[in-house]
Amino acid sequence: MTEQMTQTAVTRNPCRMCTPLGAVMVFSGIANAVPFLHGSQGCSTYIRRYLIGHFREPVDIACSNFGESSVIFGGWQNLQTGLKAVIEQYNPRLIGIATTCLAETIGEDIPQMVRRMQQELGSGGPTLVSVSTPSYNGSHTDGFHRAVKAVVETLAEDGPKSRHVNVFSGMISPEDIRHLKDIFSAFGLKTLLMPDYSDALDNGIWNQYEKNIESGTRIGSIRRCGQARATIEFGLAADVASSAGETLLRRFGTPLYELPLPIGVGLNDKFFERLGFLSGREVPARFKDQRSRLIDSYVDAHKYVFRKRAVLYGPSDLLVSMATFLHEVGIVPILCAASDGKGRFEDYLRENLDAPSDQMTVVEDTDFASIEETAEKLKPDLLIGDSNGYRMSRRLNAPLVRLGLPIHDRIGASRIAALGYQGTQQLFDRIVNALLEKQQTDSPVGYTHL
Amino acid sequence: MSGILEKRSKQIHRKGAQPFEMACEKHSLAGAVSQRACVFCGSRVVLYPIADALHVIHGPVGCAAYTWDIRGSLSSGPELHRMSFTTDLRENDIIHGGEKKLYRCLKELIDQYQPKAAFVYSTCIVGVIGDDVEAICKRVSSETGLTVIHVASEGFKGTKKDGYRAACAALAQLVGTGDVSRIGSLSLNILGDFNIAGETWTIREYYRQMGIEVVSTITGDGRVEDIRRAHGAKLNVVQCSGSMVHLAKHMQEWYGIPYLHVSYFGLQDMSKALYEVAEFFKNDDVVERARSLVQSEIARAMPELTRIRHDLIGKKAGIYTGGAFKAFSLVESLRMLGMTTAFVGSQTGSLDDYKRLEAFCDERTIIVDDANIMELVRFARETNIDLFIGGVKERPVAYKLGIGFCDHNHERKISLAGFEGMLNFAREVHMSVMSPVWKLIEGRKGNSRKNSND
């Protein structure tokens, strides 16, 4: 039963972040690209601060820094100044321009401005990609998908067919990106994975003097995405219209495989099967071993998790796969709260969950205060989601397994794994152990063997 | 390659042969990745610690999402300020206006949470779509009997400092509306402390020990009723040069209450704060209590400070803070620990601030206003510092460069004010600078280029 929380006029403790944040993550994952916000300085600084809190990495976002005169006369001047400053400081090959609600509300014709700017910069200057991401329209995951689409639309070129596969992996952790690349490589598949911020947002100590922006998906490769053999796109429980894969299908006839994020045995089986089909190869032995070990661990832990009640919250892409995975081990997702639901969420769950649980409450477009109130009535054993659920975890005395974005009260957010049999294994161990720890702590006996 | 953008050069000064000259209090240069936020940020940081008031952000979700419970402002009672309320404007509201939604939102929240007052913050687009927030506030106020105050904090309408001004204007609407009949003559208000990690409680306790009543704390552990009565105090003690001086000036003009500028960071400035207050009241008992308090606190702190200093002598630091007042105290505190300051800057310092800072600093110290990240990286590398003092946005850069860090902004969870705070500061500096992890970093000062096995 889906509930829409639009009766109330107020959001109490937002459970989503704003649209430009997603676009910034995409641009961070492109080699030699700088993210740029067109609008108020506050937006770039706050988004920086939030991403820094999660990734514990420096995040640079430039901004056109609107002042009062920009609002009255338009932001063209500031856009020019800002872009030139970025070019001088970073020497990028691409600048990703995401709009803020301020720029959109004053009616800026960004595409036109960007075209004009691109002409001024000439062939020697960086490529400009612009994407419309006002904060009043969507959430950070929407911004993410729209930015991927904008990059593809701007850069994709015609050309001879290539053997590579496009992978639009969505808003996953750097650890998951690294693992996906490993999987594709093991199948002998050449891929264009975008955005690849696995190094840009998770790297080591700087040995060089200056910050480099070189890591990420190469622009030259992105230009050939229209020539790919196929596109694999993860997620998109939410909004097909934002799909980069759809764009490529329409423009170049590139076959599109939309898959849920591969979490759990079932969804990974589908994913690996698809890779087997695309590569013409058998699933490499080590993944079969991982799968086998994973199922073995399900059996080892089955009694610890049977019919345990979980509350899930986060982007619908993640929730769909998580609900499927939990269902397969016997955990009941009693409440799924999507931060970005657009109405397809519940249908998608019912289509993809083998045996949809009638105990499941699904809510969309909600806030944390509402999630908390509902969760309190449902008495969960477990919460799975980002750090903003900690208050709820503490109030309800239910352990929180941190997953997603933002995680700002633990270290290692970038290294949280969920995808593949291996990622699922780590996540599963964390979930079971959270339940065991609670059991151990709650028991007056102080058992040392469980 | 990176460097200083030419347009920024007037906002950077190197103390040396040439006379002091500095540009500041400007809008941030477009494209330079400044560490400053916006007008809304300025207002939010000043007002949000008022714990029994309703804080409603009229705008799209981002402004509220990113400012939800990010600071360490503690409350001894209600914690309404730790919720983040917003009208979460959607496309529909932009087209048709958000006034109705704001009205319903306020009525709903006031009914549910029964606050002592409400602040409504305007964000960027509210200014553009023409919502008459003032009118809605008045209407709700008359219907509910609650004081509902509009904070004109549209992000683009200036800089963070203008946000401070808007916040002070909002506070000025509360001050003067309460009953001051039982306030004595040995009384003051604490302005410009935000009770990060309980710092206001520490300061309040010092004044109590001196025999002085603290009427209100603006805004750390703030209460609406106390702020209403603030005009009954005989003195305003103002920390944080930028954010609260407007309110202090207003209270002087309207209520004849004088104000003192103080800092509670570092032994010297903390002692000075207490002595200056004692002198103001011209009361021998208060002066004597102050003396005794300062003496015993310093005696308590010195042994450990001396031990810590021993490890830190000769080390260098870089400082980048929000407001400039703190920078003085930090340069002084670092000196006490045997450390020199190689560069120092702030987001919002005034010309006066920088002039005094420059006079106070050593030769060759770099002074910077509204620095961007590239500049901070460059200064850090050039001066080879062992420690960086700053906030969340500076920390990852310091760590990447293999430099120790002290969190000295409003998100810190450790008290750094007062005498105990100085000890905490010294401990934090020590634990970061002296950590063994830096030995593993190639190319960092003191380490060989190639990582050897010793």
pLDDT in tens, A79-88: 999 999 999 9
Q: What is the model's pLDDT at position B4? A: 67
d(CA A234, CA A231): 10
| Beta-carbon pairs below 8 A across chains A and B | 218
For residue A58, list chain B residues with Cβ-Cβ distance below 8 A.
Answer: 373, 396-397, 400
CA-based nearest distance A367→chain B, Å: 10
Band the pLDDT of A186: cuts 50, 70, 90. Answer: very high
Mean pLDDT to the nearest integer, A51-56: 95
Interface touch B32/A134, C-beta < 8 Å:
no
Parallel, antiparallel, or unpaired for β B187-193 and B213-219?
A: parallel
Collapse the DSSP code of A361 into the 3-class scheme (helix H, G, I; strand E, B; otherwise coil) and give the result.
strand
Interface touch B93/A136, C-beta < 8 Å:
yes
For an interface test with B, the pick among A21, A105, A392 (most B C-beta atoms closer than 10 Å) comes out as A105
Rounded to two decimals, the ipTM of the complex is 0.93
Interface touch A10/B402, C-beta < 8 Å:
no
CA-based nearest distance A238→chain B, Å: 17
CA-based nearest distance B264→chain A, Å: 27
Residues facing residue B213 across a β-bridge: B187
DSSP state of A283: P
Interface touch B392/A71, C-beta < 8 Å:
no
Q: Which residues contact A81 (CB under 8 A, 6 or more apart)?
A: A64, B29, B30, B31
Q: What is the model's pLDDT at position B452? A: 40
Cα–Cα distance list, A280 to A230, A274, B257, B394, B430 (Å): 14, 10, 83, 49, 59
For an interface test with A, the pick among B61, B161, B373, B447 (most A C-beta atoms closer than 10 Å) comes out as B61
Residue A206 predicted with pLDDT over 60: yes
Asked whether A124 and A114 are in contact (CB, 8 A), the reply is: no
For residue A205, list chain B residues with Cβ-Cβ distance below 8 A.
Answer: 399-402, 441
CA-based nearest distance B249→chain A, Å: 26
Interface touch A88/B5, C-beta < 8 Å:
yes
- Which tokens in the block code for residue A429? 């161990």
What is the Rg, in whole angstroms, of the alpha carbon atoms belonging to chain A? 22
> Which residue has better confidence, A176 or B350?
A176
d(CA A53, CA A406): 8
Interface touch A13/B83, C-beta < 8 Å:
yes
Residue A341 predicted with pLDDT over 80: no
Single pTM value for the model? 0.94
Collapse the DSSP code of B224 into the 3-class scheme (helix H, G, I; strand E, B; otherwise coil) and give the result.
helix
| Interface subset of B 349-408, CB within 8 angstroms of A | 373-374, 377, 381, 392-393, 395-397, 399-402
For an interface test with A, the pick among B33, B372, B373 (most A C-beta atoms closer than 10 Å) comes out as B33
pLDDT in tens, A407-429: 999 999 999 999 999 999 999 99
Q: Which member of A42, A52, A62 has the closest CB to residue B392? A: A52
Written as one letter, the residue type at B150 is H
Query: Closest by alpha carbon to A57, among A28, A32, A31, A86?
Result: A28
For an interface test with B, the pick among A15, A38, A41 (most B C-beta atoms closer than 10 Å) comes out as A41
CA-based nearest distance B77→chain A, Å: 17
Q: What is the model's pLDDT at position B1? A: 33
d(CA B247, CA B67): 23
For residue A68, list chain B residues with Cβ-Cβ distance below 8 A.
Answer: 156-158
Residue B19: cis peptide before it, omega within 30 degrees of 0 = no
Residue B1 near chain A (CB below 8 Å): yes
Collapse the DSSP code of B26 into the 3-class scheme (helix H, G, I; strand E, B; otherwise coil) and give the result.
coil
**CA triple A92-A93-A99, angle to 5 deg:** 80
Interface touch B1/A91, C-beta < 8 Å:
yes
Query: Closest by alpha carbon to A192, among A172, A154, A218?
Result: A218
Interface touch B68/A369, C-beta < 8 Å:
no
Mean pLDDT to the nearest integer, A90-110: 93
pLDDT in tens, A130-174: 999 999 999 999 999 999 999 999 999 999 999 999 999 999 999
Cα–Cα distance list, A81 to A47, A64, A84 (Å): 21, 7, 5
Asked whether B199 and B220 are in contact (CB, 8 A), the reply is: yes
| Interface subset of B 123-142, CB within 8 angstroms of A | 124-125, 127-129
- Which tokens in the block code for residue A6? 């639009």
Collapse the DSSP code of A63 into the 3-class scheme (helix H, G, I; strand E, B; otherwise coil) and give the result.
strand
d(CA A215, CA A31): 5
Interface touch A90/B86, C-beta < 8 Å:
no
**Alpha helix ranges (H) inside B313-370:** 325-336, 351-360
Q: Looking at chain B, which residue has its C-alpha nearest residue A104?
A: B125
Q: Looking at chain B, which residue has its C-alpha nearest residue A15?
A: B65
Q: Which stretches of A42-137 are assigned E, i.e. beta strand? A: 62-63, 94-99, 127-131
Cα–Cα distance list, B285 to B185, B187, B279 (Å): 14, 14, 11
Residue B32 near chain A (CB below 8 Å): yes
For an interface test with B, the pick among A5, A7, A12, A91 (most B C-beta atoms closer than 10 Å) comes out as A12
- Which tokens in the block code for residue B418? 């007062």
pLDDT in tens, chain B (454 residues): 345 677 777 788 888 767 777 777 777 777 867 677 899 999 999 999 999 999 999 999 999 999 999 888 999 999 999 999 999 999 999 999 999 999 999 999 999 999 999 999 999 999 899 999 999 999 999 999 999 999 999 998 988 889 999 999 999 999 999 999 999 999 999 999 999 999 999 999 999 999 999 999 999 999 999 999 999 999 999 997 678 999 999 999 999 999 999 999 999 999 999 999 999 999 999 999 999 999 999 999 999 999 999 999 999 999 998 878 888 899 999 999 999 999 999 887 888 888 888 888 888 899 998 888 888 888 998 899 999 999 888 999 899 989 999 998 888 889 999 999 999 999 999 999 999 999 888 767 666 554 444 3
DSSP state of A13: S
Q: Label each residue of B151-179 as H, E or C.
A: ECCCCCCCCHHHHHHHHHHHHHCCCCCCC
Cα first-last separation, chain A: 37
Rounded to the nearest angstrom, the gap between the alpha carbon of residue B22 and the centroid of all alpha carbons in its chain is: 23
Mean pLDDT of chain A: 92
Residues facing residue B319 across a β-bridge: B344, B389
Instruction: Give the number of residues written for chain B.
Output: 454
Q: Which member of B37, B70, B156 has the closest CB to residue A45? A: B37
DSSP state of B9: G
Mean pLDDT to the nearest integer, A216-239: 89
For an interface test with A, the pick among B125, B128, B136 (most A C-beta atoms closer than 10 Å) comes out as B125
Interface touch B34/A89, C-beta < 8 Å:
no
Asked whether A311 and A334 are in contact (CB, 8 A), the reply is: yes
Highest-scoring range by mean pLDDT, A240-244, A356-360, B46-50:
B46-50
Interface touch B84/A81, C-beta < 8 Å:
no
CA-based nearest distance A148→chain B, Å: 21
For residue B399, list chain A residues with Cβ-Cβ distance below 8 A.
Answer: 56, 205
CA dihedral angle for residue A173, residue A174, residue A180, residue A184, rounded to 10 degrees: 150
**Alpha helix ranges (H) inside B173-283:** 199-209, 224-228, 241-255, 267-281
Q: Looking at chain B, which residue has its C-alpha nearest residue A21?
A: B62
Collapse the DSSP code of B383 into the 3-class scheme (helix H, G, I; strand E, B; otherwise coil) and give the result.
helix
Q: What is the model's pLDDT at position A113? A: 94
Asked whether A365 and A5 are in contact (CB, 8 A), the reply is: yes
Cα–Cα distance list, B53 to A265, A423, B47, B84, B146 (Å): 50, 45, 9, 12, 10
Interface touch A45/B36, C-beta < 8 Å:
yes
Written as one letter, the residue type at B171 is L
CA-based nearest distance A90→chain B, Å: 6
Interface touch B86/A11, C-beta < 8 Å:
yes
- Determine which of A236-240, A390-394, B83-87 has the lowest per-residue pLDDT on average: A236-240
Collapse the DSSP code of B446 into the 3-class scheme (helix H, G, I; strand E, B; otherwise coil) and give the result.
coil
Written as one letter, the residue type at A34 is V
